[in-house]
Amino acid sequence: MSKTWFITGASSGFGQGMTKRLLARGDRVIATIRQEGALDDLATQYGDRLHVVYLDVTDTDGIEKCVDRVFAGFGRIDVIVSNAGYGVLGAAEETSIDQIRHAIDTNLIGSMVLIRAALPHLRAQGGGRVVQVSSEGGQIAYPGFSLYHATKWGIEGFVESLAIEVAPFGIEFMLVEPGPARTNFAGGLVLPEPISDYDGTPAHDLKDAAFGGGWVIKGDPARMVDAMITAADQQDMPFRLLLGADAYAGVHAALTKRLGVLEANRAITESADFTDAELAAM
């Protein structure tokens, strides 16, 4: 049975890849874009099975109006894919206040507002699924990507809590965490004005590797898109979907280290509570 999907950030990358795959298999897609004409070829090919909407995800009022319009116009929407976003590559000290605000407005607040706007409609239709495209960077951190990680760790915390709140309404979530992939993500990176004191430090070393060919990217965007769709179709959709062998290795190592620190400090951690005797005397 065909489904109806609502996908943000469909001009390029994973959003465009998902749009193409879903249309090819017979589904209907409502795709939001910021780049004029980005999906004209698909619109010509698939006609009324593709509905293109121009949306800036930093426009919170526009997001809410867009969501209301598409539910009113298309009825049931089976899967919402919150995908729009970009990266900032530079040491935290190098970033400007405007860059900080725009990254948070786009990657974090835009996603939160989109999901929040969809909840009344999903409740009314008896449930639905939300796929939030996060990143391996929602669980680990690279030097030079502090703003990006702040938004991805933030949206993961938001979804973790929200998923529990709305589970009684049949609304399900999946956090997709791709590792580095051969998309145009690097081409869209914002690069703050560098501070020479950071030359030879991890933040600049990583930037040099990213643009100097020293960082081998193994992730295949087409395979990642296929994996996202396959997981979203499953009866038991996973809450988290990590994509890529390097992402698996990195997240596994980070979680193992975090657990080790937790266990090593258990005695100090537990010493912060009232004792049983003290609680009994209260």
CA of 31: how far to CAs of 26, 85, 229, in Å?
15, 15, 15
Do 43 and 177 fall into the same domain?
A: yes
pLDDT of residue 34: 87
Do 151 and 278 fall into the same domain?
A: no
Do 137 and 37 fall into the same domain?
A: yes
Distance, in Å, from the CA atom of 169 to the CA atom of 167, rounded to the nearest integer, reads 5
From 46, 82, 152, 207, active-site residue = 152
Residue-range definition of the domain harbouring residue 282:
248-282
Distance, in Å, from the CA atom of 282 to the CA atom of 277, rounded to the nearest integer, reads 9
**Secondary structure letter of residue 34 according to DSSP:** S
From 11, 111, 134, 146, active-site residue = 134
Do 123 and 259 fall into the same domain?
A: no
CATH number reported for the structural domain that contains residue 193 in this entry: 3.40.50.720
Do 223 and 259 fall into the same domain?
A: no
Is 248 among the catalytic positions?
no
Do 183 and 274 fall into the same domain?
A: no
Do 205 and 260 fall into the same domain?
A: no
From 20, 111, 146, 148, active-site residue = 148
pLDDT of residue 15: 93
Do 36 and 62 fall into the same domain?
A: yes
Do 238 and 264 fall into the same domain?
A: no
Distance, in Å, from the CA atom of 87 to the CA atom of 18, rounded to the nearest integer, reads 20
Q: What are phi and psi of 103, to 5 degrees?
A: -65, -45
Do 30 and 166 fall into the same domain?
A: yes
Do 189 and 270 fall into the same domain?
A: no
> Running along the chain, 282 residues long, what does each successive block of 10 average in pLDDT?
93 92 97 89 94 93 96 95 90 96 96 97 97 95 94 97 98 94 74 95 89 77 95 97 95 97 97 95 94
Q: What are phi and psi of 211, to 5 degrees?
A: -105, -5
Is 198 among the catalytic positions?
no
Looking at the 3D structure of the chain, how many domains does it have?
2
Is 134 among the catalytic positions?
yes
Question: How would you list the strands of the sheet with 50-54, edge to edge?
Answer: 50-54, 28-33, 4-7, 79-82, 128-133, 171-178, 240-243
pLDDT of residue 214: 67
Do 157 and 266 fall into the same domain?
A: no
Query: Of 13, 21, 2, which is closest to residue 182 (Cα–Cα)?
Result: 13
Distance, in Å, from the CA atom of 52 to the CA atom of 65, rounded to the nearest integer, reads 15
